[in-house]
Structure 1
Amino acid sequence: MKVLHVAAECFPLVKTGGLADVVGSLPLAQRRIGIDARVALPGYRGLARRLEFTRTVAAFDLHGFQIGVTEGMLNSVEGPEQRLPVYLFECPELYDRPGDPYRDAAGKEHPDNALRFGCFAEAVARFALHRGNGFSPALVHLHDWQAAPAAAWLSIQPQRPAVVMTIHNLAYQGLFDRRTFEHLGFPERWWSPQAMEFWGQCSFLKAGIQFSDAITTVSPAYAREIRTPEYGCGLDGELRARSASLRGILNGVDTAVWDPQTDPFIAAHYTAGDATIGKSANKSALQEELGLAVSTRPLVAFIGRLADQKGADLILAAREELLGLDAQYVVLATGDLALQEAFAAFAGTTAADRVAVRLLHDEVLAHKIFAAADLLLIPSRFEPCGLNQLYAQRYGTIPVVRSTGGLIDTVVDADAATLAAGRATGVHFRDADVGGVLYGLRRALELIADEATRDGLRRAGMAADFSWLRSAAEYRGLYRSLQAPRHPGPIAPG
């Protein structure tokens, strides 16, 4: 089966968040189980130089731009036999810019993002139908709003690949005005609540929801949540209408990259059998590196975006109470500027030897923190899946999470029954407020004060199967179900 994954990010080529990790890992896992999975990306600055065996395979004229498609091979950390074919959709005027995929070097969003990703999605649809490129996918797998309009363009073709739309975060929908809709040449009939119109705006993500053959999210719990008004971001009605085509498939992790037995970035390697010794050595090394007091106190970590979704403001609101607990804290994050300033001030308190804050994206430091920390705090208001709690468990770090989305699916709450059965891997708390955060953290600190309980939580977490092979097999089943003749899109009005 030939599958083309379409996204704005793919690790290690380009990354701003978890989307890149998924798109960099899932296709490789699928290739290991016999799927010819490949990736389509915008041709951002410098990416072509990082691919091997490049050649131009197609070119399209769209909206006054010429978009050339370069095919190349991305080497995998798992070895040359695990190379990933990548197609770069190159157009210097649209994609060859400093900064990340969405923002300039000063952190401001590009004002023409609708044009940039609208052209990308339309070019991908043409490429998927183009017989001269040497690769004709049976299925196109779209990821998030930047790729979603490709589903609409493909829906009007009599002979087309099946389309799967994965929603990584429903809060980001790609909303633009009517003028943008017209400029991108979308058919007038798509300006409809049954297609792309969303409360007077054009929603790229809604195109993926309405025109795809199947919709997935990145965890089963999030698939249920987004069909409710509380979490549906205004699209819960459309998602309920497509319930029969919607399912949650849990994300995985790259177990070669995230492995405390072989991780080149950590001070001491360890297994579940010697995690106490290994984590102690890593904690001491990290404390020295970050200027924390070298201590056996529990080390609590927060790694992620400083955004309302992630609940980072709740940590700040609870800072006085947190300093009253017998613990140290490390924060590795970037995001909202006001939150960055507040966290910097938190690190400058009189308890500076107990609080370390690094306001940057640093993959190496993240590995060190996962290996050193005792607890990982995730106070998310909503969480489609989350990867950090998966990385944490791989390293014997116990997650303390709010009960929402993928956190429910991946962290087994420590109650009397799960502890007795040896299944507990972390701590849940219900409320997204200061009280909830403090309740969860105090409960976790009480649990790990008992060494036997702490070691049991670590062992269960490190034994959990969060490999991409599990997810890849589930996606294979979904893909096969779409190979049968499909009804024309329910969805294309007019």
Structure 2
Amino acid sequence: MKILFATSEAHPLIKTGGLADVSGSLPNALAVLKHKIRLVLPAYRAIMDKLPPGVMLKKMAEISVQGCGREFTAKVLQLKAGAVPGIDVPVWLVSIPDLFDRAGNPYLAADGSDWWDNGERFAMFSKVVTELAMNRLGLKWQPDVVHTNDWQTGLVPALLSLEAQRPKTVFTVHNMAYPGNFPRSLFEQLKLPWALWESEGVEFWGHFSMLKAGLIKADQVTTVSPTYAKEICYPEFAYGFEGVLQKRQAEGRLVGIINGIDKTVWNPERDALIAVHYSAQKGRLAGKRANKKSLLSDLCRLRGETEKRSNDRMLDCLDKPLIGLVGRLVEQKGIDLVLEILPELIEQTHANFVIVGAGDKVYEVQVKALAQKYPNRIWAFMGYSESLAHRVEAGADMFLMPSRFEPCGLNQMYSLVYGTPPIVFHTGGLADTVVNATEEHIKQGVATGFVFYDPSRQALKSTVLHALHLFTKKGIWQTIQKTGMVQNFGWEASAKQYVELYLEKR
């Protein structure tokens, strides 16, 4: 099949979250299955600036698109497959300099605020993707399927629904918390077809919703785990869209397919960012210990400690449990629960903690304050570091991920394959990928991590204490580690599920 995969970010070209990991990996997995893929995303300044020296972009097409009271010239530039390591399919970059040639990330200005014209920006991108899908730009390449992702491309299935002889459309929701809601005036100014302005279209309580456009007009709606596909049909997870989602579910057109992970990037046997390679079969115990030693030394140096002080601290902490947390410091991720119990865990256990992330300033301030109060027990790194994230997964003894909701989650899967049992709340993809270390599951040899079922400080604390207790039972702990490491979270199975979905009749 010919598949046009439209997204607002894709690793390693541009990344703000899990959408980029999926968009960078799933097209590659589909290509391995012999399908012809084109990955299309905006030509952000950040992408153009970091293309490897000597990489050439070929201009494939040019088109005028109607914006809010003005016309834009959009160019489609092609990046050859393999030109950027990690991207094995041709990439089409939609260049509209007035909209995408800016400092900052895909959605936020340098000061952290939303771009004021995000609605117009991604509507223009969607219009160009629609023209590509209908083969109206002279490229002589019309896809059989257009796979769109999140609200930034939600308008594409809606626009294609008005076309004759159109490709099939699939819309994947990576997080319902971001609805892409804009005033009706934006819809009017964009001169979009009025046939779409209805309750069975893009209208949402008088507003223009690009998320709803994809949910209601795509031939198939998917989300990134089976449990999350069920959860989003309930009001507490649906953000007002439960009626639409229940309708799609009843039609058999809402499916949950668990994300995979890129095993060329997240693999302790070959990870270039960790100190020592290891596997479930070879060198696991020595490899984990060596990576923990390296991580502790790095963390002490990052804090500016002397070499002697760093070495003394590393030796003191090496045999004590180290709990890692890497992620956004926001309420959704349960960081408030972590902050509530950290002082008690410090006082009552021997555990040490490393926290890597950024998010709400109030939580960043609290994390830094605790790290200053307990400098011998907590390391905090505010910001995102890909290399440090890999080293935490390899060097920590367990991984903390108490998200209140998690459509899929990737870090818990990284943790499992790195032999770092995760501690998670029973929701979304966390529920689908982590088997709780109950006595029964341990006896059956299927336990891979630790799960709590009430999003409260008490439940989280008791689960952490349970994990710390089992950490002292070396035989049990090593069995839990190995069981997690041999799970197959690669993209092969999930990519085949998407192919089956693409092949279903409209």
SS in structure 2 at match of 1:302: strand
- The number of residues matched between the two structures is 480
Q: Which runs of 4+ in 1 moved over 6 A?
A: 76-79
Instruction: Give structure 2 stretches of 5+ with no counterpart.
Output: 301-309
Does residue 256 (structure 1) correspond to residue 261 (structure 2)? The answer is no
State the superposition RMSD in angstroms: 1.5
Equivalent residue in structure 2 for 1:189, among 182, 188, 195: 195
Q: Which amino acid aligns with 1:298?
A: P
SS in structure 1 at match of 2:179: coil
Does residue 290 (structure 1) correspond to residue 314 (structure 2)? The answer is no
Q: Which residue is equivalent to 2:306?
A: none
Q: Which residue is equivalent to 1:108?
A: 113
Q: Which residue is equivalent to 1:179?
A: 185
Equivalent residue in structure 2 for 1:58, among 57, 61, 70: 61
Displacement of 1:34 after TM fit? 1.0
Does residue 33 (structure 1) correspond to residue 28 (structure 2)? The answer is no
Q: Determine if contact 1:48/1:88 at 8 Å carries over to the other structure.
A: no
Instruction: Give structure 1 stretches of 5+ with no counterpart.
Output: 487-494
Taking a change above 3 Å as real, the CA distance of residues 432 and 76 of structure 1, as seen in their structure-2 partners, is farther
Structure with the bigger RCO (C-alpha within 8 Å, sep 6+) is 1
Q: Determine if contact 2:38/2:90 at 8 Å carries over to the other structure.
A: yes
SS in structure 2 at match of 1:317: helix
Pairwise mapping of residues 240-319 of structure 1 onto structure 2 (< 5 A)?
240-243=246-249, 244-273=252-281, 274-291=283-300, 293-294=313-314, 295=317, 296-319=319-342
Q: Which residue is equivalent to 1:75?
A: 82
SS in structure 2 at match of 1:432: coil
Deviations 1:361-418 (A, max 9, x none): 1000011000001111111110000000011111100010000000000101112232
Displacement of 1:76 after TM fit? 7.5
Q: Which residue is equivalent to 2:368?
A: 344
Per the normalisation by structure 1, the TM-score is: 0.94
Q: Which amino acid aligns with 2:398?
A: L
Equivalent residue in structure 2 for 1:331, among 345, 355, 359: 355
Displacement of 1:85 after TM fit? 0.7
Deviations 1:278-312 (A, max 9, x none): 11111111111112732211110111111121111
SS in structure 2 at match of 1:335: coil
Aligned-pair identity in percent equals: 41
Displacement of 1:78 after TM fit? 7.2
Displacement of 1:348 after TM fit? 0.6
Displacement of 1:471 after TM fit? 0.9
Q: Which residue is equivalent to 2:305?
A: none
Q: Which residue is equivalent to 1:87?
A: 92
Q: Which amino acid aligns with 2:196?
A: W
Q: Determine if contact 1:44/1:97 at 8 Å carries over to the other structure.
A: yes
Deviations 1:340-361 (A, max 9, x none): 1111111111x21210010111
Per the normalisation by structure 2, the TM-score is: 0.92
Deviations 1:114-136 (A, max 9, x none): 00001101110011112521321
Displacement of 1:11 after TM fit? 0.3
Does residue 127 (structure 1) correspond to residue 135 (structure 2)? The answer is no
Inter-partner Cα distance in structure 2 for 1:150 and 1:438 = 45
Inter-partner Cα distance in structure 1 for 2:447 and 2:346 = 27
Deviations 1:406-436 (A, max 9, x none): 0000101112232112111001001112112
Inter-partner Cα distance in structure 2 for 1:161 and 1:189 = 20
Q: Which residue is equivalent to 1:490?
A: none
Displacement of 1:205 after TM fit? 0.5
Inter-partner Cα distance in structure 2 for 1:442 and 1:20 = 34
Q: Which amino acid aligns with 1:333?
A: G
Q: Determine if contact 2:437/2:449 at 8 Å carries over to the other structure.
A: yes
Does residue 404 (structure 1) correspond to residue 434 (structure 2)? The answer is no
Displacement of 1:150 after TM fit? 0.6
Displacement of 1:75 after TM fit? 2.5
Inter-partner Cα distance in structure 2 for 1:155 and 1:390 = 36
Q: Determine if contact 2:149/2:172 at 8 Å carries over to the other structure.
A: yes
Inter-partner Cα distance in structure 2 for 1:416 and 1:342 = 36
Displacement of 1:77 after TM fit? 8.0
SS in structure 1 at match of 2:16: coil
Q: Determine if contact 2:14/2:46 at 8 Å carries over to the other structure.
A: no
Deviations 1:58-105 (A, max 9, x none): 2221121111111112528878xx722100010110000001001112
